[in-house]
Amino acid sequence: MRTIGVVTSGGDAPGMNAAIRAIVRVAQAHGIAVIGFERGWEGLIYDNVMSLTPRSVSGIIQQGGTILRTSRNKEFMTDEGMQKASVTLANNKVDGLIVIGGDGSFRAAHEFSKKTDTRIAGIPATIDNDVYGTDETIGFDTAVNTGVTEIDKIRDTATSLDRVFIVEVMGRTRGFLAAMIGLTVGAEIILVPEVKFQPEEVCDTILKNSAAGKKSGIIVAAEGIGDTHALAKEIQEHTRIETRLSVLGYAQRGGHPTARSRFLASVFGKAAVEFLADGKENLIAALQHGKVTGISFDESCCKSKELDLRLLKLARELSK
């Protein structure tokens, strides 16, 4: 292994820069050079590269976003796109490629691995935590804490005004963020796409809580459950309790990574370099039962990670 290429793909996640730093410095210890491709797969197609040295990744461990930038690129998914990318890798003498991203990025990497001689490894980085095979992804802990901090503030107003707030959090089609945020802010109700619900049940719970003296309430809803505007309206109409919606937006993606996101970035960065240096390929660095290991693109891309429904049950028990 002489040269490793790095690409960040899909949405950005806090800790991606810490992962880039880890890759570069661990590679250096193995005598491997590192270059970065800019703006996701686009950089591979159009040969936009930047040199990454131990000094050039100095001072980025705490920065949100990604210094390599990222984009959502459709051209890469075509035969022609992958062809161009292969040429770029060959031209740059890249014999190992590390893809930092989420499950969409890994599916693309999986396809690409069939068409290139370059060995590929993955590092799971997405605030959504929806990558099969790893207990946690880089950025998840940061996004959870950003959500918790925001909702702690909203509760001030909820309590002061005896209001119900629906807080919509990110997570795309999944409820990992909503479940963990909901549990740790003490939400009265958590709504996730994985569990069907009827608005009437939500209203019933609110009315029961109100009757028991809990006049304000927080509902944490995953963006994947559908129209939260309509839900807020419906709740207010049925319960006659003032109900407001607050959508936690893109701030959830940014900010300084938490210690845990930086820690995962560091150990995953090391693992990915070592996979490649050891001659392994098509592996995603993963955390399983507190240990760093690898999961194949093949397995990770085919399977869907399960949401632990016991979290929701516990949250319900604890909010009474």
Q: Any idea which residues carry the catalytic annotation?
A: 128
Q: Quick one: which of 7, 180, 231, 301 contacts a second copy (CB under 8 A)?
A: 180
Provide the mask over 287-306, with x wherever binding to a second copy is found by CB under 8 A and - wherever it is not: -xxxx---------------
Q: Quick one: which of 266, 282, 296, 300 contacts a second copy (CB under 8 A)?
A: 266
What does the CA dihedral 293, 14, 311, 170 come to, rounded to 10 degrees? -130
Q: Which of residues 205-224 bind a second copy (CB under 8 A)?
A: 213-214
Please tell me whether residue 282 binds a second copy under the rule CB under 8 A: no
How many residues in the shown chain lie near a second copy by CB under 8 A? 81
Q: Would you say 110 or 169 has its CB closer to a second copy? A: 169
Please tell me whether residue 88 binds a second copy under the rule CB under 8 A: no
**Of 57-65, 83-91, 106-114, 298-306, which part binds a second copy (CB under 8 A)?**
57-65
**Of 66-74, 88-96, 195-203, 294-302, which part binds a second copy (CB under 8 A)?**
66-74
Please tell me whether residue 151 binds a second copy under the rule CB under 8 A: yes
**Of 86-94, 259-267, 278-286, 299-307, which part binds a second copy (CB under 8 A)?**
259-267
- How far is residue 140's CA from residue 157's CA, in Å, rounded to a whole number? 26
Please tell me whether residue 260 binds a second copy under the rule CB under 8 A: yes
Q: Would you say 279 or 290 has its CB closer to a second copy? A: 290
Q: Which amino acid, one-letter code, is at 278? A: D
Please tell me whether residue 111 binds a second copy under the rule CB under 8 A: no
CB 10, min distance to a second copy, A? 10
CB 215, min distance to a second copy, A? 9
Q: Would you say 238 or 316 has its CB closer to a second copy? A: 316
Q: Quick one: which of 83, 91, 159, 304 contacts a second copy (CB under 8 A)?
A: 159
Q: Would you say 59 or 298 has its CB closer to a second copy? A: 59
**Of 26-34, 102-110, 227-235, 299-307, which part binds a second copy (CB under 8 A)?**
26-34
Question: Do 43 and 14 form a contact (C-beta atoms < 8 A)?
Answer: no
Please tell me whether residue 149 binds a second copy under the rule CB under 8 A: yes
Q: Quick one: which of 51, 78, 157, 304 contacts a second copy (CB under 8 A)?
A: 157
Q: What are phi and psi of 17, to 5 degrees?
A: -65, -40
Closest listed residue to residue 101, CA positions, set 135, 146, 70: 70
Please tell me whether residue 233 binds a second copy under the rule CB under 8 A: no
The DSSP-derived string for the chain is --EEEEEE-SS--TTHHHHHHHHHHHHHHTT-EEEEESTTHHHHHTT-EEEE-TTTTTT-TT--S-TT-----SGGGSHHHHHHHHHHHHHTT--EEEEEE-HHHHHHHHHHHTS-SSEEEEEEB-TT---TT-S--BTHHHHHHHHHHHHHHHHHHHHHHT-EEEEEE--TT--HHHHHHHHHHT-SEEE-TTS---HHHHHHHHHHHHHTT---EEEEEEGGG--HHHHHHHHHHHH-S-EEEEE--GGGG-SPPPHHHHHHHHHHHHHHHHHHHTT--SEEEEEETTEEEEEEHHHHHHS-PPP-HHHHHHHHHHT-
Please tell me whether residue 25 binds a second copy under the rule CB under 8 A: yes
Please tell me whether residue 134 binds a second copy under the rule CB under 8 A: no
